[in-house]
Every structure is written in C-alpha cells, then in structure tokens.
Amino acid sequence: MTGNGETASEAVKTVEIMEEYRRFIGRKVAFIISCVVLIFILAGVSATLGSYPITVTEVYSIIFRCLFQSPETTKEVIVWDLRLPRILMGILAGTGLAIAGTIMQAILRNPLASPFTLGISAGAGFGAALAILLGAGLVGGKYLIIGNAFIFALIPTFVIIGLTRFRRATPETMILAGIALLYIFSAATTLLMYFGEAEAVKEAYFWMVGSLGKSSWEQLIFQLKLGPASIIMPGAVPAVLIVCIIPLMLKSWDLNVMSAGDETAKSLGVNVEQTRIFVLILASLMTAAIVSFTGTIGFIGLVAPHMCRIVIGADNRFLIPASGLLGGALLLAADTAARTIMAPVILPVGVLTAFMGGPLFLYLILRRRKEFW
C-alpha cells in the first residue's frame, strides 16, 4: 500500500514538474515572439520618420508592393531605396552584435565579455583609420576601408586563439589579452589621428562612433545575372550572419554544458578547447563583417544578452535567438532616435547606444534581485 502511494506521489510530482517546464519554455517562446513583433512595429515607425511624411499603413503596403515590382512613385523610392536599407542594416547589425556578445560571454564565462572587451572593435577602428588617414590597406579600391576594418578586426581573435593553443590560456587570460589588445589598437588609432589632417580625422572619428547612414541594398543583397534572368542572393552582412548563426545554434547545448565548468564539460564528452576556438572564430567573423560596414557600435553586444538572461534565463538554445532579436530591436530604436532627436541633424547611432546602454546596464545591475549569470 505504501509502495503504491509513493508511486502515485512520484507520478504527481513528475506531472507537476513537466507542467512547470512547459510554462517555462512557453515564457521563453513568448519573449522571442514579442521581440519579433517589436522589430516589426519599430521598422514601420522608423520608415515613417523623415522630411517626407508617410503613414505606417503606407509603409507596409509599399514594402509589400516593391517585393514584386520596382519602386515607381516618390513614396516608394523614399521607403524602398532610402529608408528600408538603413532599417534592415540596423536589425541585422544589432542581431549579429548581440549574438556575438552572448557567445563570448558563454565561452569565457564572464558577464563583461563582448566584441569591445576582446579588442575586435578596436582592431576594426585601427584598420579603418589606417585606410582613411594614410590611404594604406591590404585591399584597394572602394573596399579599402571595409577590407581594412574586416582584416584588422580579426587580428585580436587570432592572437587570443594563439594564446589558447600554445599557452593553454584560461578564459580569464583571454579576457585580459583582449583588453590589452584593445588599448594597443586604441593608442595606435589615436596616434594616427593626432598627425592626420583635419578632414580625414573627422571622417575617421565619425566612422569610429558608428553609423548606419551609408547602408545600401548592395550591402544587403547580391544580384547575380545569368543572361536575361537574375538570381537574388544575400549580401555580405546577411550571408556572414547566416553562415555563422546556424552552427552557433547547433553548438548551443555544448555552450550550456561549458557554463558548468571545463572539467564538467569534458566529463560529458565536450571538446572544450575546440568548441571555444570554433565559436570564438564565428562570433569574431560576425562582428568583423558588421563593424566593417557600420563602424564601431557599442553596448549592444553587452546589454542585450543581459536583458534576455534576466527574463528567460541562461539556456543558450533560447538565449541566442532572443538576444539577437532584442539586439536588433535596440539598435533600430537607437537609430530611430538618432534620426529624430536633433532633426534634420542625424546623430551617429553609436553615440545613442552608449547613452542608452550605459544607464540601462547600471539599472539592470541595481534592480536585479538575484544572480542571473
């Protein structure tokens, strides 16, 4: 009798646990869907803002029409050719930077890890400054600045990987190495700007604070012509994001296990060193591809993962997509504000993300009631 009673009690507890787990998963999925809806709303509102008045309803109808035909009217040209590329670039850039920050925090088990603290953005800034101020670079032509920024953004990653491979560096050592590289590249950039000409210094500084103003369809899509027909393919930024995010999602379970410590992960069959290097390379590629087109945009990769972690927890299966979507929404909101606060003057979006990210991050730290890392 007692045995049957214990069995029935255990069955009830199991059912309760399963129900609680389903509610927990449902909250995560609801948050992700909410982020998608938020992006959809922000995109519509952002496309209406400007010197030429357009309603939200007109924006969505124009976008739907232009999917099947070329823009013809003035409103269609303004929305499709001028405003929509900037909006899409903001969403993609915010998504990539937030996911990169999430991955770096996971593999290094450090809440302050981000593309900035590992020196990736500083390396990109030095490469861009080198191209703008001296006209020197590893890639010529119209891709001089973009190519330089991309290549130099990867240098800190290879240095950190070298430390990992040959010095068996710990996550703490990798963070310290990234900070050291950040200061080295920042000092070198400052030296270049000190001896540069006024106009070139202004351009370099504007690039370093980040902007979405130069976004275009060429960066978002690539049209391959095959005789009379043509094939539409993802441009540089979306292509890199697709190639990197898919394998990162496949590694999300390994990242969850690694959060318990290297020894625990190894005992469960995870190749910790190989996984850490692999995901670090992918996160660095995403960051390099984004900042080479937009400049160095800060705080998105630091704030978005923490906000999502507070709401839905640290399960990377849900945290990675949620952080990406929230990062896209945050950057889009910051760029919308940058376009309207001092209109017709458009502020660099990097300034707004710093103003928004700093106080918001402090607020999250002060208001948290429990450890969420």
Could you tell me the domains of the chain?
Answer: 21-367 (1.10.3470.10)
Contact 213, 86 (CB under 8 A): yes
What is the pLDDT at residue 230? 66
Contact 299, 121 (CB under 8 A): no
**Three-state DSSP class for residue 230:** strand
What is the pLDDT at residue 1? 45
What is the pLDDT at residue 326? 95
68: buried, middle or exposed (CB in 10 Å: 19+, 13-18, 0-12)? exposed
**If you average pLDDT over residues 294-299, what whole number do you get?**
86
Spatial distance between the Cα atoms of 343 and 199, rounded to a whole number of angstroms:
23
What is the pLDDT at residue 226? 63
Q: Is the predicted pLDDT of residue 373 greater than 60, yes or no?
A: no
Contact 31, 321 (CB under 8 A): no
Identify the weakest region by mean pLDDT among 26-30, 142-146, 165-169, 306-310.
165-169
Spatial distance between the Cα atoms of 275 and 277, rounded to a whole number of angstroms:
6
Residue whose structure tokens are 């060429």: 218
Burial readout 111-121 (b: 16 or more C-beta within 10 A, e: otherwise): eebbbbbbbbb
Backbone phi and psi for residue 237, each to the nearest 5 degrees, phi listed first: -70, -55
Q: Is the predicted pLDDT of residue 318 greater than 60, yes or no?
A: yes
Count of C-beta atoms within a 10 Å radius of residue 246: 10
When pLDDT is cut at 50, 70 and 90, the band that residue 6 belongs to is low
How much is the mean pLDDT over the chain?
A: 84
**If you average pLDDT over residues 90-98, what whole number do you get?**
94
**If you average pLDDT over residues 54-77, what whole number do you get?**
87
* Segment 177-221, tens digit of pLDDT: 888 999 999 999 999 888 888 888 888 888 888 888 888 888 888
In 3D space, the residue among 30, 95, 79 whose CA is nearest the CA of residue 330 turns out to be 95
What is the pLDDT at residue 36? 95
